[in-house]
Structure 1
Amino acid sequence: MARTFSIPSSHLSRFIGTAFLNADQIVVVSPWVSDVTITFPETEGVLDREMSFSDAVREFDVDVTVIVDPEQRQHNWVRRRALLPRIEEFVTIRNVENLHAKAIITDTVLYLGSANMTYRGLNVNIELCEIRENSYRNIDLFLADRLGI
């Protein structure tokens, strides 16, 4: 059985920052995404403890995939804090119709919960957030088995 623990959604930004420091690949599953601020733990080699998700994508050598709902184009591509136009040349973007799931997945650990990767999801809304071991030890196997994508 995979070990699981809950965190407040305000700590998701640190989970994402830690993933950028430790993972070779990150997959963000969120119908709505914004260029959120992420936080890094204190560690050598990271001068700025906070940076935007789009800056982290460019700064760190991590393979990033973002899976979104194409119906949320206005939010994800057009709005002022829209993430996808800022990162489209650096990441893989997948559109999945009727997507409602929210997850941030690496080969070893993952977040599952109710928070979209948006300012409100990480800073305002009361969300359910669980961090657990990725018992599949493979992002693609997790996506295929748990989400059918």
Structure 2
Amino acid sequence: MIPNPIGAGGQAECVPGSNYQNWGSAGGGGSSATVYDGYGAFALDEQSLKLGVSDPKDLFRNERQAKRSALKSCKENGGVDCKIVLTFVNECAVTMFGATDSSGSKLAIYTGKGVDTEHAGNEALAKCKATGSPMCEPGQSDCVERWRND
């Protein structure tokens, strides 16, 4: 899935396809567009389990921008001591809430990365189950891809 630069009804959306470079452009002449890697990040306040995700509506061309957005999101969600728990480039990432052991006495967050949310979710779920957690519940997900600056 790729970000749709045209959007529908003014809302961001993702659409399948690979020839998205020319969507919304007038003519097919040579372009001096720059291609950037897409960056994303998750931040977490471990005490309160408040999570922040880099803004999926923005395109981040470096890790620093994505981290700053995730930290801001975490604090806006009520986190106080937010720290980056995952960064990702040109891929998908998923968080999974579970426990640190089979007693379920302490909650934890597990993360996974992959080519799509299914693969990322499977990785996060495997990490959660490996601890013996009695529950593994999906949290946030986000995907980022290379993008062009036309």
- TM range, normalised to the smaller chain? under 0.3
Q: Higher strand share goes to which structure?
A: 2
TM-score between both structures, scaled by the size of structure 1: 0.26
- Higher relative CO (Cα under 8 Å, sequence separation at least 6) belongs to 1
